[in-house]
Amino acid sequence: VERTLSTDNTKKMSEAICSFANDIRNTKKPGYFMIGADDNGKLDGQTFTDEQLRSYAGLRNSGTILPPPAMMVYKETFPEGEIAVIEVQPSEDTPVRYKGVIFDLDGVLCSTDELHYQSWKKITDRLGIKFDRSVNDRLRGVSRLKSLDIILEGSGKKYSEEEKLSIASEKNDIYRGLLEKMTDADCSDDVRNTLDFLHSKGVLLAVGSSSRNTPLILEKTGLRKYFNAVSDGNNITHSKPSPEVFLKAAEFIGLVPSDCLVVEDASAGIDAGYAGGFDTAAIGAAYGCE
Ligand code: BG6
Ligand code: MG
C-alpha cells in the first residue's frame, strides 16, 4: 500500500488491491490481502470494527477498480490482535483503477521527439549553436518558443523577438516536412494494444500535448480514433509545467484529476500532472524523476 502513487487512503487501498489482483491473475488461486500485521509477520495489535470491514468490502463497488474482482472481507481474531483479510479471486479481466488516462504525445505515443531533435539540430548547426540530446531532453513538453530560449542559452549572441519568431517558424517548417512523411507504421503495436486494452475496459482516453502540431500527427499516424478528447498547444495559454493542458483534457472527458492517470516522458510534464492533482506515470526520459 505504501508503494502506491495515491495519497488518499481509499485510493491507496483500491490501487493496492488492483495491483494485487493483477499479480494473482494467472495463479487460479485466491490471494489474501491482510491488514494488521507488520512486515515481520507479527500482529500489530489492531482491531477492526464491522464498519471498517464494510468499507474495505465497499472498495469493490467504489468505481475505482474496473472491472472489480470478486472479493470477500472478514477478520480473524488472535490473542495478539486482529487481522482483516481481503480475499481476492483471480480474474481473467485485469482490473484498472483509473477512469481516464491522459497521454502525452511526443515521445510517448510516437517518436516525434526524435523529429523535434532532428529539426532543431538542422537549425542549430546552421547558426553554430551547440545542441545535443541532453539539451533536447530539456525541451520535452516545453512550447516551441520556450524551447528556442533554452537552445539560445548555448549561443553568445542576443536575438531579437522578430529573429526568434523567424527561427521558430523555420524549425516548424522543417519539422512539419518530417511529419508529412509519417504513417500508421510510426506508431508501435505496443501503443495500439495499450490503447485498445484501456478502451476495452471502458477507460476514457485523452491526449494532453503542448504541441500545436498534434492534429497533424494524430491524423498521419491514425491515432485520433482511439481518443475521446484531445487537449493540445492550440487550446492552452501556458505550456507544461503548467497543468493547464491536462486540466483541460480531464474536463473534456468529464473527469476530475484524481480519477485520471497522466503518462509523460518529460519532467516538465510530470510536474504539470502533479500540479494538477493527477497521478503520473513517468516513462522514457522522465523515468525516475521525482
Ligand atoms: C511538446 C514537445 O510535445 O510540444 C516539445 O515535447 C515541443 O519538444 C512542444 O517544443 C511544442 O511543439 P510544436 O509541435 O507546437 O512545435
Ligand atoms: Mg513528450
Q: What are 183-218's pLDDT values in tens digits?
A: 999 999 999 999 988 887 778 899 999 999 999 999
C-alpha cell at 97: 483503477
What is the predicted pLDDT for the residue at 63? 65
Q: Confidence class of residue 21 from pLDDT cuts 50, 70 and 90?
A: confident
Q: Is the CB of 211 under 6 A from ligand 1?
A: yes
Of 62 and 14, the one with more pLDDT: 14
* Model confidence at 7: pLDDT above 90: no
Averaged pLDDT, 87-104: 83
Q: Is the CB of 139 under 6 A from ligand 1?
A: yes
The tally of CA atoms less than 13 A away on the side-chain side of residue 74 is: 6
Averaged pLDDT, 109-122: 97
Ligand nearest to the CA of 178: 1
Averaged pLDDT, 89-99: 76
Q: Checking DSSP bridges between strand 100-103 and strand 81-88, what pairing results, if any? A: unpaired
- Per-residue pLDDT of 42-61, as tens digits, reads 999 999 999 999 999 988 87
Query: Is residue 240 classed exposed, middle or buried when 0-12, 13-18 and 19+ CB atoms within 10 A define those classes?
Result: buried
Q: 93 C-alpha vs ligand 2 centroid, how far in Å? A: 30
Q: Is the CB of 147 under 6 A from ligand 1?
A: yes
Q: Which long-range contacts (CB under 8 A, 24 or more apart) does 170-173 make?
A: 170/123, 171/119, 171/120, 171/122, 171/123, 171/144, 172/119, 172/144, 172/213
What is the predicted pLDDT for the residue at 230? 97
* Model confidence at 27: pLDDT above 90: no
* Model confidence at 86: pLDDT above 80: yes
My answer on whether omega of the bond before 257 falls inside 30° of 0, hence cis, is: no
Least confident range of 46-55, 87-96, 226-235: 87-96
Query: Is residue 157 classed exposed, middle or buried when 0-12, 13-18 and 19+ CB atoms within 10 A define those classes?
Result: exposed
Averaged pLDDT, 228-250: 96
Averaged pLDDT, 138-156: 93
C-alpha cell at 200: 476495452
Q: 125 C-alpha vs ligand 1 centroid, how far in Å? A: 20
- For the CA atoms of 125, 128, 132, 138, the dihedral, rounded to the nearest 10 degrees, stands at -110
* Model confidence at 5: pLDDT above 60: no
Look up cell 516513462; give the residue: 283
pTM of the predicted model as reported, rounded to 2 decimal places: 0.74
Q: Confidence class of residue 289 from pLDDT cuts 50, 70 and 90?
A: confident
Averaged pLDDT, 266-276: 96
Q: 150 C-alpha vs ligand 1 centroid, how far in Å? A: 13
What is the predicted pLDDT for the residue at 64? 64
- Residue 231: which of 146, 100, 105, 139 has the closest Cα? 105
Pocket perturbation via mutation, ligand 1, pick of 142, 175, 236 by most ligand atoms within 8 A of CB? 142
What is the predicted pLDDT for the residue at 288? 84
Share of the chain above pLDDT 90, in %: 70
C-alpha cell at 197: 486494452
Q: 182 C-alpha vs ligand 1 centroid, how far in Å? A: 16
Q: Are 206 and 252 in contact (CB under 8 A)?
A: yes
- Coil vs helix vs strand at 167: helix
Q: List all residues 6 or more positions away from 144 whose beta carbon is below 8 Å from its beta carbon.
A: 168, 171, 172, 212, 233
How far is residue 239's CA from residue 248's CA, in Å, rounded to a whole number? 12
Please indicate whether residue 125 is annotated as part of the active site.
no
Start-end of H helices in 38-152: 50-58, 112-127, 133-139, 144-152
Averaged pLDDT, 52-72: 82
How far is residue 65's CA from residue 198's CA, in Å, rounded to a whole number? 13
Indicate which residue's Cα is closest to atom 4 of ligand 1. 211
Report CA 55 to chain centroid distance, whole Å: 28
Look up cell 471498517; give the residue: 52
- Compute the mean pLDDT over every residue in the chain, rounded to the nearest whole number: 91
